[in-house]
Amino acid sequence: MPVASDTPDWLEMGFPQSPFGLSARRVWEHTELGQVKVFKESLSACLDNKDAETFIDVIRFGWDSFRLLGFTLAQLKTGHYFSENLSQEDRTKLLRLAEEEATGSLVKELALHLYICSRRKIIRNGSLPFLHLSNSEELLGVPYLHSTLKSHLNQMTKAKATAAQWLATINNFPKKGIRADEIERSGLCEALVLQVDEGLQLSGGMLADSLSFDALRLSIIPVINLASAQLQFGRPPAKTGLKTKKYGRPQIGQIRTVKMCDRVLGYRVEQVEHESLWGREVHWQAVTHDGQVIADAHRPQSVDAPQSAAELAMRHAERHFPKRNDSGQWSGYAWTGGEDYREWLVTLPHFSQSFFSSHYPLRNILAHIRCDVREGRDGERVLFLHEVQSDWARGSDSTTGERPPFFREWSSLVMKLMLLHAAHRGLDALAWTQGRHQVARYKGLGKEGLMALYDRTLPRDVNRIVQPLGIQCEMVEVFVPTNFSIKRSERGYEVFDRQGNLLGIEVTLEDARQLMPDAAHEQLYDVHGVRLTEAIRATILKEGFPAWG
């Protein structure tokens, strides 16, 4: 399975002559990549190896991936698991797996990882959420996204019928606009089949309350990376007022001088001079904001070069105050000049089957979106989509039945989510490239598919979604630099001239624009889009969208 180079190799573990294995991927994605936590247990309660077992999934390997069996290593060991698809032979293999020496190694590795996570003080540069945080009442895990099936059953809340009668009624729901995939994924028909012989009277309200889309709960997260520079060392302030613990007073003949300081977290690099039998000696040390001299297992407190001391401080900050950035990893495939560039991943962390994209290391990415905010012709703020894609849907084999959820509707679902995001941020329009822009970007590769998606499928999807709002797709104009570029990085907004020379770096796009060369020029590009007035944004956030349809 394709994974990023910085993904640990211990996350999955297989065993000889066994189709079963173990995976710590879902908890690692939560701690390191910002994925939603799928486990009920608190990570802070993980005190020893046995506690770590509650965050390790038991899996069955396939030819190119794996499937979650629905229980953890802890549940396997205690016998508190259930799977009617397991034979007695499989159960024997699983119990043997729990006793393997390699299993103990995985548990220790995860326990150590969770211990390190527990020592973190704070993660810096946390990204703003896609929407406000969801709650358990939202069937699909995303605010403003609802089930048409549940709404329809609630309208029939007092109607009563037997399970057999309800099955006949539900078979006609697709004629009323309820997608067959939504009905199938709800599991409602399977549950009713089991109750046919009971002859009980069931109300529509009872059926609505029984609906569960737990396996399809979505998570929308930005692509985040560990910053390459955890600290920014510069000249120390004229007066630090800081003292080093355990060395309240310098030793006789010893001189301490702060040579570098990180203004945000207070880490500093000190030069220490002292007299010895061989004359005056100089060494360096890294010190935290509260005066603790830093050492680790690889280096002593005192080192012989300032850079070595700075590296000590960097590693300490990475463990205790890790700095992340959310500037993505494919920004080179985007027009420059936009603000708040993000790469959003729509994932299915609860879904049992596992899929891995070639673009990102996360499990079960249904779709990914690359976008930013840029200025339109009349100064409007436009949420602009550089790319939308579903590797999972594109790579699915319909002949074997291995289709992802929302297989036929992933593009529609993505556009609903982006309309919600644009409304949530109070933006004036949602727009996306023309097919020809994508063809030019990828030098003709996949021309027919790109033209079909961006010029036909997305406009059709959006028109169907926004028709009840009284609006439709149209051409929108956005500004794009032609003879200079502004790129967002973990350092801020970097401005380059036509020759690629860096003109400067600023924290905000507005300040970066002040660095543009005198002959800077921007061109208006015609792109597909839909305009969102304040009233329409309010309606979108009030009524939301159905997940299917």
Q: SS3 of 486, please? A: strand
Tell whether 412 and 529 lie within a shared domain.
Answer: yes
What is 234-300 written as a DSSP string? EPPPS------TT-SSPPTT-EEEEEEEETTT--EEEEEEEEETTEEEEEEEEE-TTSPBP--SSS-
Residue 27 main-chain phi, psi, to 5 deg: -75, -35
Q: Output the tens digit of pLDDT for each of the chain's 549 residues.
A: 334 447 899 999 999 889 999 999 999 999 999 999 999 999 987 888 889 999 999 999 998 899 999 999 999 999 887 777 889 899 999 999 999 999 999 999 999 999 999 989 888 887 889 998 777 778 999 999 999 999 999 999 999 999 999 999 999 999 999 999 999 999 999 999 999 999 899 999 999 999 999 999 999 999 998 899 999 999 988 765 555 554 445 556 678 899 999 999 999 999 999 877 777 889 999 999 988 999 876 666 778 899 999 999 999 999 999 999 998 999 999 999 999 999 999 999 999 999 999 899 899 999 999 999 999 999 999 999 999 999 999 876 544 456 899 999 999 999 999 999 999 999 999 999 999 999 999 999 999 999 999 999 999 999 999 999 999 999 999 999 999 999 998 889 999 999 999 999 999 999 999 998 888 999 999 999 999 999 999 999 999 999 999
Is there a domain that residue 7 lies in? no
| 301 plus 339 within the same structural domain | no
Q: In terms of Cα–Cα distance, which of 213, 215, 36 is closest to 139? A: 213
CA dist 140 → 316, 364, 415 (Å): 39, 15, 16
- Of 277, 295, 320, the one marking the end of a domain is 320
Q: Report residue 442 as tokens.
A: 């990828």
How many angstroms separate the CA atoms of 457 and 432, rounded?
12
- Do the domain assignments include residue 492? no
Q: Is 430 found in the same domain as 291?
A: no
Is residue 77 one of the residues assigned to a domain? yes
Is beta strand 381-389 parallel, antiparallel or unpaired with respect to 429-432?
A: parallel
DSSP state letter for 45: G
- Burial of residue 238 (number of CB atoms within 10 Å: 0-12, 13-18, 19+): exposed
Q: Is residue 6 part of a domain?
A: no
Strand (E) positions, 364-465? 365-375, 381-389, 429-432
- Determine the residue type at 315: R
Could you say which of 69, 98, 118 is where a domain stops? 118
Would you state the torsion angle of the CA atoms of residues 484, 488, 489, 495, taken in this order, to the nearest 10 degrees? 30
Task: Clarify whether residues 451 and 353 are in a common domain.
Answer: yes
Are residues 338 and 257 located together in one domain of the fold? no
Residues 445 and 529 reside in one and the same domain? yes
Final residue belonging to a domain, choices 320, 343, 370: 320
| 305 is a domain residue | yes
The DSSP bridge pattern shows strands 324-325 and 279-287 to be unpaired
| Nearest one of 77, 78, 79, 62 to 21, comparing CA atoms | 62
Q: How many of the other CB atoms lie within 10 Å of CB of 210? A: 15
235/263 Cα distance (integer angstroms): 9
Confirm whether 499 is domain-assigned: no
Whole-angstrom CA distances from 144 to 135, 443, 534 are 11, 38, 17
- Report which residue type is found at 476: V
Decide if 244 is inside a domain.
yes
Query: What is the C-alpha to C-alpha distance for residues 13 and 456, in angstroms, rounded to an integer?
Result: 44
Which three-class secondary structure state does DSSP give residue 82?
coil
Kindly state whether residues 87 and 198 are assigned to the same domain: no
Cβ-in-10-Å burial (0-12, 13-18, 19+) of 101 comes to: exposed
416 in the same domain as 351 = yes
Give the H or E element holding residue 525.
strand 522-531
Give me the domain span that covers residue 198.
Answer: 148-212
Shared domain check, 352 and 472: yes
The β-bridge relationship of strands 66-72 and 145-146 is unpaired
Same domain for 269 and 345, yes or no, is: no
SS3 call for 14: strand
Report the C-alpha gap between 358 and 338 in whole angstroms: 26
Same domain, 368 and 478: yes
Structural domain contains residue 17? yes
H or E element: which one contains 416? helix 410-424
> What 3-state DSSP class applies to 452?
helix
Q: What are phi and psi of 192, to 5 degrees?
A: -70, -35
Residues 411 and 277 in one domain: no
* Dihedral sign computed on CA atoms, order 59, 62, 66, 68: negative
Residue holding tokens 């992933």? 410
Residue 247: both structure tokens together = 């060395």
* Closest listed residue to residue 84, CA positions, set 186, 194, 212, 164: 194
Q: Residue 2's pLDDT is what?
A: 39
Structural domain count of the chain: 4
